[in-house]
Amino acid sequence: MRKNIVAGNWKMNTTLDEGVELANEINEKVKGIKRNCEVIICVPFTHLTSVNAVIESENVALGAENCSEHDKGAYTGEVSAAMVKSTGATHVILGHSERRQYFGENNEQLLAKTRQALANGLTPIFCVGEVLEDRENGSYNDVVEGQVEALFDLTAEDFGKLVIAYEPVWAIGTGKTATADQAQDMHAHIRKVIEGKYGKDVADNTSILYGGSCKPENAKEIFSKPDVDGGLIGGAALKADSFMGIIEAFN
């Protein structure tokens, strides 16, 4: 059965020292509690190796925030999935709306990145989500369906290795959270789209996380919905106490 997951996305925040300190604090706090979810922190490339040295994998798993769609070679400034994997990371966020919006990542590239991640044994946390205009004009289900379908060239075995994160763009960093019912409706829709292509087993076993202004105060209600399997957390993942508050929403 699918797992509950709370994953932090640090984005472009923390210096190396700050990041190591935060990771260490999260690891120590997670160790001290009984918890009902897997905990992942996704950190800047520069921090991966050092963060890996201070966390214990049975408490906290490590992820990157992106990887290249290329295998290796003359791509100055890029970081490959194999490089990410070699740091000890096990996960990678792909298709975050900030990558789509500011760096022009398209469906074709995201499929290639997903293939690279899978070929190197990383679990992609694949992000989908509509912008405010789509929400307001009622096309949000179709938009998100299209983003999920962009991965439908994958085999069922490969698709079954993914974690999906639904992050409505209008809720990211805005303090404006989707209601628990809006999250549930979209998660159920995503699961139905997956079932239509890959069948009930794959759909039922795929963890679908909610992201967008998730905080200790709203996490419990959102996570209580049957198709919401946890969260991908931005701002509130940058302080150990608020991140822990979200992890404890599963208790």
The 81-110 site mask, x for binding ligand 13P (CB under 6 A), equals ---------------x--------------
Cβ neighbours for 201, distance < 8 A, ≥ 6 positions apart: none
Pair of tokens at residue 102: 């500011």
CA 21, chain centre distance (Å): 22
**Closer CB to ligand 13P, residue 164 or residue 172?**
172
φ/ψ of 211, rounded to 5, equals -140, 145
Active site residue 25: no
The 147-186 site mask, x for binding ligand 13P (CB under 6 A), equals --------------------x----xx-------------
Interacting positions 224-243 with ligand 13P (CB under 6 A): 232-236
User: Segment near ligand 13P (CB under 6 A), from 20-28, 73-81, 104-112, 205-213?
Assistant: 205-213
- Should residue 212 be labelled a site residue for ligand 13P when binding is judged by CB under 6 A? yes
Per annotation, catalytic residue among 47, 96, 187, 189: 96
- DSSP, res 179: P
DSSP string across 121-135: T-EEEEEE---HHHH
Give the CA count within 13 Å in the CB-facing half-sphere of 46. Answer: 11
Comparing every residue's Cβ against ligand 13P, the nearest one is 234
**Closer CB to ligand 13P, residue 150 or residue 169?**
169
**Closer CB to ligand 13P, residue 13 or residue 49?**
13
Per annotation, catalytic residue among 65, 167, 189, 248: 167
Pair of tokens at residue 153: 């060239």
Active site residue 167: yes
- Smallest distance from ligand 13P to CB 201, Å: 28
**Closer CB to ligand 13P, residue 202 or residue 209?**
209
**Closer CB to ligand 13P, residue 63 or residue 235?**
235
**Helix intervals (H) in the chain:** 16-31, 48-54, 81-86, 97-103, 107-119, 132-137, 140-149, 156-159, 180-198, 200-205, 216-223, 240-247
- Smallest distance from ligand 13P to CB 199, Å: 28
- Should residue 123 be labelled a site residue for ligand 13P when binding is judged by CB under 6 A? no
CA 95 – CA 124 distance, rounded (Å)? 9
User: Segment near ligand 13P (CB under 6 A), from 73-81, 111-119, 132-140, 206-214?
Assistant: 206-214
CA 69 – CA 102 distance, rounded (Å)? 17
11: left (phi over 0), alpha (psi -120 to 50) or beta: left
Pair of tokens at residue 223: 């996570």
Name the residues that contact ligand 13P, by CB under 6 A.
9, 96, 167, 172-173, 211-214, 232-236
Catalytic residues: 96, 167
